[in-house]
Homo-oligomer: A and B are copies of this chain.
C-alpha cells in the first residue's frame, strides 16, 4: 500500500527557499508572483494492507522523523 505524507512550513515561519524561488521567478520575468512556499511530499510504500493502521504508522513516522514539528505541519493520506 502507498501512503503520502505532505510536510509544509507552519504559517508565519520564514521560508528562505521560497523567497529565493520568488526572486528567481521575478528575474525570469514572472512579475505576477507575489509569494512562494515550498513543502515536501514523501511517498512511502509499506507492506501493510489495513488503511487505518497504515495512516496511524505514517503519522508516527512523520512525528519521529519526516516532519520537524516545531516549524512544520504534516498531513497523511492513502494513495489510491
| Central interface residue in A36, A41, A42, A44, by most chain B CB within 10 Å | A44
Find out whether the CB atom of A46 lies under 8 angstroms from the CB atom of B32. Answer: yes
Find out whether the CB atom of B21 lies under 8 angstroms from the CB atom of A66. Answer: yes
With both chains docked as a complex, state the minimum distance between the C-beta of A4 and any C-beta of chain B, in angstroms: 9
Interface size in chain A (residues, C-beta < 8 A): 31
Give Cα A65–Cα B30 distance, bound, in whole angstroms.
11
With both chains docked as a complex, state the minimum distance between the C-beta of A32 and any C-beta of chain B, in angstroms: 5
- Contact check: which of B41, B42, B47 meets A6 at CB < 8 Å? B41
By a beta-carbon cutoff of 8 Å, the part of chain A in contact with chain B is 6, 8, 18, 21, 24-25, 28, 30, 32-48, 57, 60-61, 64-66
